[in-house]
Chains A and B, each alone.
Chain A
Amino acid sequence: MWSDILEFFRGMGFMQMGADFIGAGWQQLAMLFISFFLLYLAIKKQYEPLLLLPIAFGMLLTNLPGANMFHSELWSAFLDPSSPAYHSYGAILKEGGLLDVLYIGVKAGVYPCLIFIGVGAMTDFGPLIANPKSLLLGAAAQIGIFITFLCANAMGFTEAQAGAIGIIGGADGPTSIFLTSKLAPELLGPIAIAAYSYMALVPVIQPPIMRLLTTKEERAIKMKQLRAVSKTEKIIFPIMVTTIVALILPDAAPLIGCLMLGNLMKECGVVDRLSKTAQNELMNIVVIFLGLSVGATATGASFLNLKTLMILGMGIVAFGMGSGGGVLLAKLMNVFSKEKINPLIGSAGVSAVPMAARVSQQVGQEENPSNFLLMHAMGPNVAGVIGSAVAAGILLTMLG
């Protein structure tokens, strides 16, 4: 009987953490405190709570000693060509815990695509169709991705890792997770947390950059009202974009295809039930699975190192450069264009829908309260979603 009691005490998480405190114990404890802090940010400060809360809770679960919900060693074996469990989902299902099973959806690139169906079903591409030039701003804002790719290489990351770090500049969570799970799965935890943290901090990061790069007069520019877009145009748009992009860049097809499928379901008006499911039930279920399993990858050993700090640092550089790139191109377009555009809408070219567009509207109204930039900024904003998915496809083609 005493041996059973002793065994019970030995099995307790506290004992396991204490037994190896110098090795993994302190890391687990530190990760638990980080997860508590992220939960605080999600609940009290409401920083992207829909994603940050499940991510933080996944981080909490994975760092509980003895819970055995996620096994990073199984996933290392999954990636090791010399291991018998190489690319074997069967081994994961047989020996893995709950979070290992959920993580299969990330590893196979399923969750980001399903989320993109929901995003598409919630997105109105009308402002982009009405003003196709917005695509240029969406493209310019992707410069942050490529400059950060260059910086990450210089800092000693491999090319594949640098590509995954650079994509943070796209400010698009699902795209970041999709590309990282393909190029550098070992960095998934820090990259996902950096991407979602900076997306939540859009209203803090972007306004100083926008003010720095524009004059008062530029910020007060009023733009011409957008033309009305017919239903037929909105229906043909997703079909056309999918066909063109997938034919030019097949690696971008999963993301763009799913985004446009969701949008087509919304716009065609004949599958309302599917559209509502994609916007609500499907999206919410996948967000829970994705958040938990991404959080689960943030184990002490993979998270508490200098690389994570470097990733967080480069992420903010990527994001800032993307925002600045959009604003600067908008200014350049004003030099050549007869119809002036407000450069503030350029910063919305990083995807972060619709937060970045709202920031453009707010900063614009500070200069001119009668100025309504929201719909104008939605054009570059949704163009940014397309742009970051295209950039991810290009990086996957070149580095994958």
Chain B
Amino acid sequence: MTMVLLAINWPHVLFVTILGFALVLVLLVVLIYVLKLFGLIMHPHVTVDKPQEVHPVVGTPHEEEHDNRITLTGDATAAIAMALHLYYNGIHDEEPTHVTIKKVERKYSPWNSKIYGMNNLHRN
């Protein structure tokens, strides 16, 4: 075993190990920056000016507005979306209030004709 270990060109093996892994990291880090840049070009972030900080005064309308603000988590948003989806899918179309039953006109057909029926015997 010792002979085997001594026979190995350790400097080269270590060089390949360290440089190889470092190269994988460097190449993929380069790709990260390229992708980030790519994302910025394709999906520029819309920056919204932050509202100016207002010093809250007890009882003022500003404070009430602040308290009423609702923060929704992803789960809550999903639950609301699902509820709306089910609600809207369950609604029928708005129907007119007219009664739509019409008198059905039976048009002549030899299949239901009494004239040609088997029981329609000639009466002299």
Asked if A150 lies at the interface with its beta carbon under 8 angstroms from chain B, I say: yes
Known: A136-B25, A237-B35, A386-B28. 9 other contacts (CB 8 A): A146-B20, A149-B20, A232-B42, A244-B30, A248-B30, A387-B28, A390-B27, A395-B20, A398-B16
10 residue pairs of the A-B complex, CB under 8 angstroms, read: A135-B28, A146-B18, A146-B21, A149-B13, A154-B8, A159-B9, A244-B30, A249-B23, A390-B28, A394-B23
Q: With the chains together, A128 CA to B39 CA distance in Å?
A: 11
Closest beta carbon of chain B to A238's beta carbon, Å? 12
Q: With the chains together, A227 CA to B35 CA distance in Å?
A: 14
Question: Do the beta carbons of B17 and A146 come within 8 Å of each other?
Answer: yes
Residue numbers of B with Cβ under 8 A of A are 4-5, 8-9, 12-14, 16-21, 23-25, 27-32, 34-36, 38-39, 42-43, 74-75
Question: Do the beta carbons of B28 and A156 come within 8 Å of each other?
Answer: no
Q: Which of B9, B20, B34 has the most CB of A within 10 A?
A: B20
Asked if A265 lies at the interface with its beta carbon under 8 angstroms from chain B, I say: no
Closest beta carbon of chain B to A133's beta carbon, Å? 6
Q: With the chains together, A225 CA to B20 CA distance in Å?
A: 34
Q: A139-B24, A139-B28, A143-B21 are in contact. Are A153 and B38 (CB under 8 A)?
A: no
Residue numbers of A with Cβ under 8 A of B are 128-130, 132-133, 135-136, 138-140, 142-143, 145-147, 149-150, 153-156, 159, 162-163, 222, 225, 227, 230, 232-233, 236-237, 240-241, 244-245, 248-249, 370, 383, 386-387, 390-391, 394-395, 398-399
| Residue from the list A132, A146, A154, A370 in contact with B39, Cβ < 8 A | A132
| Residue from the list B4, B9, B24, B35 in contact with A391, Cβ < 8 A | B24
Question: Do the beta carbons of B38 and A133 come within 8 Å of each other?
Answer: no
Q: With the chains together, A153 CA to B16 CA distance in Å?
A: 11
| Residue from the list B12, B20, B43 in contact with A394, Cβ < 8 A | B20
Question: Do the beta carbons of B24 and A390 come within 8 Å of each other?
Answer: yes
Chain A binding surface, main DSSP class? helix
Question: Do the beta carbons of B25 and A240 come within 8 Å of each other?
Answer: no
Closest beta carbon of chain A to B24's beta carbon, Å? 5
Question: Do the beta carbons of B31 and A135 come within 8 Å of each other?
Answer: yes
Closest beta carbon of chain A to B11's beta carbon, Å? 12
Query: Which residue of B has the minimal Cβ distance to A230?
Result: B42
Query: Which residue of B has the minimal Cβ distance to A232?
Result: B42
Query: Which residue of A has the minimal Cβ distance to B75?
Result: A370
| Residue from the list B13, B23, B31, B74 in contact with A225, Cβ < 8 A | B74
Q: Please indicate the chain A residues that have their CB under 8 angstroms from the CB of B13 in the complex.
A: 149-150, 153, 159, 162
Q: With the chains together, A155 CA to B1 CA distance in Å?
A: 8
Q: With the chains together, A248 CA to B27 CA distance in Å?
A: 8
Q: With the chains together, A243 CA to B84 CA distance in Å?
A: 46
Q: Please indicate the chain A residues that have their CB under 8 angstroms from the CB of B18 in the complex.
A: 146
Q: Please indicate the chain B residues that have their CB under 8 angstroms from the CB of A139 in the complex.
A: 24-25, 28-29
Q: Please indicate the chain B residues that have their CB under 8 angstroms from the CB of A135 in the complex.
A: 28-29, 31-32, 35
Q: Please indicate the chain A residues that have their CB under 8 angstroms from the CB of B35 in the complex.
A: 128-129, 132, 135, 237
Question: Do the beta carbons of B20 and A227 come within 8 Å of each other?
Answer: no
By Cβ-Cβ distance, the 6 closest A-B pairs, closest first, are A132-B35, A139-B28, A135-B28, A146-B21, A132-B32, A156-B4
Query: Which residue of A has the minimal Cβ distance to B16?
Result: A398
Q: With the chains together, A46 CA to B18 CA distance in Å?
A: 38
Q: A129-B35, A240-B34, A240-B38 are in contact. Are A249 and B16 (CB under 8 A)?
A: no
